[in-house]
Amino acid sequence: MDRPPKPTLARIKKFKGCDELRHAMMHVFQDAQMGLAGHRKLVVILKSVFQKAIELNQIQYFCMWFTKLLSKVLPLKRGELSGDRIVKFTFLFVNGLVKDAAEAKRAKTEGDKDKSSDEEMDEEEDKEDEDDDEEQEETPVTVFISYLIKYLLRGIEAKDKLVRYRVVQLLAYMVEFVTEIHDENIFEALYTLLNGRLQDKESVIRIHAVVAMSHFQQFDFSFEGENDGVGDEEISTAQVVKKIINSLQHDESPEVRRAALINLLRTDETVPFLLERARDTNSINRRLVYSKISRELGDLDDLGIENREYLLKWGLNDRDQSVQAAAAKMLGSFWFDSVNQDLLELIEHLNVIESPIAAQALKVFFESKPELLETIKIDESYWKNLSTEKAFLVRSFYQYCHNQNLYTLINSNFPELIELAETLEKYLHVRLKVIEENEAVVKQCQAHDEKMDTFDNEIFSLENQLARIGIDAESHRKNASNKTFDVEECETAKELLKERILRLKNNDESLDDLITDENESIIEEIMKLLEDALDEQLEMVTNDIERFKQEQSDSVAKLEELQEKYDTCVPLLERKKEAKAVALEDFNRDHAGDCVPFTKTLTELEFVIHQLLLIAQDFDFSDEIGRRKMLQIIRTTLTEDKLPENLIAIGLNVLKELSINEKDFVTMAVEIITDIRDSIDDDDDDDEFHSAAATFDGDYDEESQQSSMKKRRVEPDLPPDDIVFRCLVITRHVLELVGETLDNHLSLSSIYTGIVNYAIQNHSNKKLYLAGLVCLNLFSIIDEKIAKIACGTLLVAMLTGSEEVREIGMKSIMDILATYGMEILDKDAKYRYSRLFYKSLLSYDKPKLQCIVAEGLCKLFLADILKPKKSPGETANNEEAEEDSDIFQHERNLFEALILIYFNPYTRTNQELQQILSFCVPVYSFSKPQHQTNLANVSGDVVYRLFTQYENESISPTVIVPQLISWCDPRNLVKVSEDEIKTSTSHMYQCVYLLQVLEQVESRNVKRCIINNLNKFYISEFLQSNTLQALNNSVKETEELFENNSNDPDFLLDKTSKKNFDAFIELVKEKLEIAKKREEDENKSLFSRSNTNSILEGLDDVKLKTEEGEVVAEDLKNESDDEQEDKDTSKASHRAEEEQDEEMHGEDAQKAANIENSLQEIDKLLDEEDNVDYGDISMAED
């Protein structure tokens, strides 16, 4: 049959039947899939065909053939050009129809406006009714769109993923025209089915579903849907936004999250969710936030301070360079342009006083715009009127120039040292003047601070009391449990004793018929007793029962008493916290006109001083006059001014830079602390001077003691707590700057004995006590004797203190162990600290404490201070070996707990902990071969516990097992040779341990996952044949296990798993044969070399006998000197060969010994395979 000619506008006008319409449509679709260039012309032609179908009253025929032709592209896979072109053509065609219909309607409306106003007023109500009818009246366009959407909805849940993909792709375009549909049922069906595709297993389908759903955001709608268990009860724009946000936050595909990120509506409610993607796991999504999303959110003021902080902090510290570059571009281009390129205004938006990222942001800004450095001019008038923004700019500008060695800019913009010192002095005087002028306000602020301190102390005391109640309750609960067991055991013994006495009276001496697993040991002890001693023993047991019951009763009573105390303390604690919050709110409200503005002004002034001190820290001190001036100012202000802690810290940094050496710095710092401590006594004795040591040790000379004896009788040894706290703050920052040991700074010892000890004994003052603990930690780092004392102090503090005390104490003990190792702890302390670490690691209700412990333990394991397995070279006697075994078992439990927590579903919300473990565990695994062996040893236990204790949780073996295998892969090790990789046994051990799990775990998914991942183990033929033989035996036993349990559904393997297991069996056999052949070749070579050595040894024996006189040859005595020299040379050569041979044999012996040790470990491992002991670690949430 001849092919009909191509349709043209002229030919279409002459169409009279359906066949002509069909042929025209087929031509259009055929040409549309060939390229995008002719789509506009084809749309015009197809619209003409559509109009002709309307004229012929064949609109349904047109719709039917349009969808029939469209269905040809539905099975086409993603990326097929013809399919993508038809989809775009369909959108262009429908869009053209909608636009034409809208223009026709608009033209009709304009024509109606030409009528007289009188007629409009008379017929106004009738026209409104007509308009409503017209809006509800179906037009050919709405009929076509409805037909098309209904057709597509029939395939949205097709089994073929390609059909679902194309359908959702088309609907993503069609949803834009959903307003043309007047059927609410179609609207609801479209929403519901697209919502279902948001959970499709194919990510490409979810992408287009998100795009389709995003179009619903443009419409303001809300109606009740059918609550059939699938759809939502309410269908509204807010629900659509929630669906897209859910995909944005929780979809596992980065492409889907990206689609949601681009298409989510920008409102005040959605901005936090959009900016949250700056922490996305995908770098492209993170970069998109900075390159596109941030620009769409408006100016800097529209973002808000908090959002600007997050964007800068996350972007500038991102691990991906492209994200950092995008964040820098956002700051240097978009934000800078939004403030009309005014640098001070940009700094004002950075919230420099409170922002921790502002300094880094300005540094990045200077790096991105180095041409602006030349435009910055700082003259004398600038220094006289420093605001927070100006001071911050000056400091940042100086530090950048200093770090980049731009000394020309420094010399042209910054004064001499003495002028800088005078400027600093001026602002310090201004600060004092502001305080003096507002003396009444200062007193009100001080009263408020004292009130807050009182609340803090009361809350701190209650928290400590609750902690002690918890410790006591645990002890009594354990004691009650033990006594219950003792009572049961004694009652069993009592009954057995009575039975024994009764049977002896009947001449029956046997109790064998009463033996059980529980009472076997008791019966053995009873049988050892003489008949005369039975009655006495019965009486003793009866008394023990009464005593144990009384002790049990006492423990229960004590528990009840502790429960009452707990029930009293908890509400009281809540009331105190509420009272503190109310007092703070009342203060801010009542003093909004005086204290709050004063505090803000003082904070801004102190910020300016802080920036000047930061400049002084890196300034050139070659000018001796300026250096002395600066030194005088720093010492004076640290001693006399009550500076905040941040100014004390930077002031001490400047003081250290001004000092000759560290000893000089410590001497001046101690003098400052001494002057502060003695400041309360200045009114009584201004001329009296005490050295630092004398002040805190009480080591005065006789005259000083006599002159101050009366004062000491009426005043305490130490000044008020606020002055002691100032001393502790300075002490803390001094110790942070000290690098030498305490032996080089004896004056610091007096501070430890005088102030720090006082602070850590003052449990009623929270601020003082916590500062004392921090100083104790810092002293411990520089002195081992103090560290030993601190270990006991910190343990008691953590056991009986609040969570804040535990956090400080845990940081401290981790620092001490990292400095001195585990040897600083005795056996009891090691055990108690191990238990404390373990319990803290499982404290899911204390996420911060969990992070501190996890990070500290990771560092200790990484440095091999903690070892989950004893090194092969470490030997000890029996007693020490038993003690070391217990210690290593505790450390193994800690190591295993770390790995368990990495996969534990309870820790998913603790992002900081996840980040710590995600970094530390791989670093540990890939740093040393022994580390991989340690991880391999716990892999079986980890898998077993995860899938027995959390079998109902959303954890997948397909993620965990490959991750464990990757960590133990020797090919991932850093800085190791190829030979070390080939001879590594970490994967071999891990394979054996995981094969053991197959028998222990019940989950069929876990079994299959382990089997399917066996091919990922790196099994080298360079391992010893005995080692590979042990692995082969373990594989055979596993194979027998599956064969013997073939009727058990849990042991059934699918075809893929069976194929993978068989392939691994063959691989192990192949590697074993290669290893055996290699060892045979090596033995042959060794045997050949040994025969050669035996000949040489025979010659040596002859010579030795000759020298001993057993064989004497007369002609040897008359040898010439040359012959004698040759003989000596020959002897030396033989001796060298003999020594070399002995050394070779020694190496072989050592190698054999190592092989034997390895074999013994494997034999032991295989012996334990049938009875795996998984310890007593419980990962259950407390």
pLDDT tens readout for residues 1053-1106: 889 999 999 999 999 999 999 999 998 888 887 766 655 454 444 434 434 344
432 in the same domain as 303: no
The total number of residues shown for the chain amounts to: 1182
- 235: tokens are 């269908």
Closest CA to 48 of 89, 82, 14, 73: 14
What is the reported pLDDT for 637?
95
Lowest mean pLDDT among 489-503, 666-680, 840-854: 489-503
Q: What is the 3-state secondary structure (H, E, C) of 125-186?
A: HHHHHHHHHHHHCCCHHHHHHHHHHHHHHCCCCCCCHHHHHHHHHHHHHHHHHHHHCCCHHH
Give the residue-averaged pLDDT of 944-973.
Answer: 87
Average predicted confidence (pLDDT) for the chain:
84
Residue 1131 has pLDDT above 60, yes or no: no
Q: Model confidence over 602-626: pLDDT tens digits?
A: 999 999 999 999 999 999 999 999 9
Summarize the confidence of residues 264-288 as an average pLDDT: 92
pLDDT at position 1135 over 60: no
pLDDT exceeds 70 at position 466 = yes
Establish if 1176 belongs to a structural domain: no
Q: What is the pLDDT of residues 215-235, one digit of tens each?
A: 888 877 766 665 444 444 567
Does residue 1141 register a pLDDT over 50? no
Q: What is the pLDDT of residues 521-562, one digit of tens each?
A: 888 888 888 777 888 888 898 999 999 999 999 999 999 999
DSSP readout, 252-314? S-HHHHHHHHHHS---TTTHHHHHHGGG-SSHHHHHHIIIIIHHHT-SHHHH-HHHHHHHHHH
Question: Which of 241, 268, 295 corresponds to the end of one domain?
Answer: 268
Region 559-577 average pLDDT = 94
Instruction: Please tell me whether residues 87 and 197 are part of one structural domain.
Output: yes
Q: Are residues 309 and 261 both part of a single domain?
A: no
Distance CA 241, CA 484 (A): 59
Residues 1041, 1000: contact at Cβ < 8 Å?
no
Can you name the residues that pair with 224 across neighbouring β-strands? 234
Is 223 domain-assigned?
Answer: yes
Q: What is the CATH number of the domain that holds 204?
A: 1.25.10
Please tell me the predicted confidence (pLDDT) of residue 325: 95
Residue 603 lies in a domain: yes
Here the CATH number for the domain that contains residue 419 is 1.10.287
Task: Please indicate whether residue 95 or residue 232 has the higher confidence score (pLDDT).
Answer: 95
| Per-residue pLDDT at 440 exceeds 60 | yes
Indicate the pLDDT class of residue 498, thresholds 50, 70 and 90.
Answer: confident
- For the ranges 483-492, 901-910, 1143-1152, the lowest mean pLDDT is seen at 1143-1152
Instruction: Please give the pLDDT value at position 479.
Output: 92
Query: String of b and e for 39-48 (b: at least 16 CB within 10 Å)?
Result: beebbebbeb
Question: Does the pLDDT value for residue 205 go beyond 60?
Answer: yes
Same domain as 454, residue 580: yes
User: What's the pLDDT band for 1111 if we cut at 50, 70, 90?
Assistant: very low
% pLDDT > 90, the chain = 56
Q: Does residue 443 register a pLDDT over 70?
A: yes
Domain end position, chosen among 602, 623, 644: 623
Please list the residues that pair with 222 across neighbouring strands: 236
For the cut 60, the answer to whether the pLDDT of residue 1182 exceeds it is no
Residue given tokens 């091919």 in the structure block: 1015
pLDDT band at 1174 (very low <50, low <70, confident <90, very high): very low
Decide if 794 is inside a domain. no
Distances (CA, A) of 1095 to 1100, 1101, 1139: 9, 10, 15
262-273 pLDDT, tens digit each: 999 998 899 999
DSSP state of 754: I
Assess whether pLDDT exceeds 80 at residue 888: no
Its domain, for residue 22, covers 9-112+137-268
In a domain, 1114, yes or no: no
The pLDDT assigned to 437 comes to 93
The answer to whether position 574 is within a domain reads yes
Q: Is residue 338 part of a domain?
A: yes
Burial 1131-1170 (b: 16+ CB within 10 A, else e): eeeeeeeeeebeeeeeeeeeeeeeeeebeeebeebbeebe
Please tell me which residue, 903 or 714, carries the higher pLDDT value: 903
According to the per-residue pLDDT averaged within each range, which of 55-59, 100-104, 547-551, 851-855 is highest? 851-855
The string of DSSP codes covering 651-717 is HHHHHHHHSSSHHHHHHHHHHHHHHHHHGGGTTT-TT----HHHHHH----HHHHHHHHHHHHHS-S
pLDDT band at 691 (very low <50, low <70, confident <90, very high): very low
| pLDDT tens digits along 356-381 | 999 999 999 999 999 999 999 999 89
On whether both 328 and 444 belong to a single domain, the answer is no
Confidence tier at 954 by pLDDT (50, 70, 90): low
> Element (H or E) spanning 223, and its range?
strand 222-224
Looking at the structure, do residues 224 and 288 belong to the same domain, yes or no? no
Domain boundary among 226, 249, 268: 268
More confidently predicted of 1 and 161: 161
Q: Are residues 433 and 560 in the same domain?
A: yes
Cβ contact 704:782 at 8 Å: no
Across 116-120, 310-314, 830-834, 1111-1115, least confident range: 1111-1115
* Averaged pLDDT, 190-206: 90
- Higher-pLDDT residue of 658 and 101 is 658
Asked if residue 264 and residue 185 are part of one domain, the reply reads yes
Higher pLDDT, 392 or 1136: 392
Give the pLDDT score at 676: 92
**Judgement on whether residues 295 and 431 belong to the same structural domain of the protein:** no
Task: Give dist(CA 302, CA 267) in Å, integer.
Answer: 11
Does residue 79 register a pLDDT over 90?
no
Phi, psi of 1179 (to 5 degrees): -100, 15
pTM: 0.78
For range 475-486, the mean pLDDT: 91
- Residue 1118 has a pLDDT of 42
Local confidence band at 236 (pLDDT 50, 70, 90 cut-offs): confident
399 and 533 share a domain? Answer: no
* 213 domain residue, yes or no: yes
Could you give the number of structural domains in the chain?
A: 3
Q: Assign 412 a pLDDT band (cuts: 50, 70, 90).
A: very high
Q: Following DSSP, what letter does each residue of 87-127 receive, concatenated?
A: HHHHHHHHHHHHHHHHHHHHHHHHHHTTS-HHHHHHTHHHH
Q: Tell me what pLDDT residue 1088 has.
A: 65
Same structural domain, 296 and 226: no
Q: Give the mean model confidence (pLDDT) for residues 445-458.
A: 94
* 240 and 300 assigned to the same domain: no
**Quick one: three-class SS letters along 1069-1109?**
HHHHHHHHHHHHHHHHHHHHHHHHHHHHHHHHHHHHHHHHC
Q: What is the pLDDT of residue 170?
A: 92
Q: Please say if the pLDDT value at position 756 is more than 60.
A: yes
For the segment 1016-1043, the average pLDDT, to the nearest whole number, is 92
What pLDDT is recorded for position 687? 44
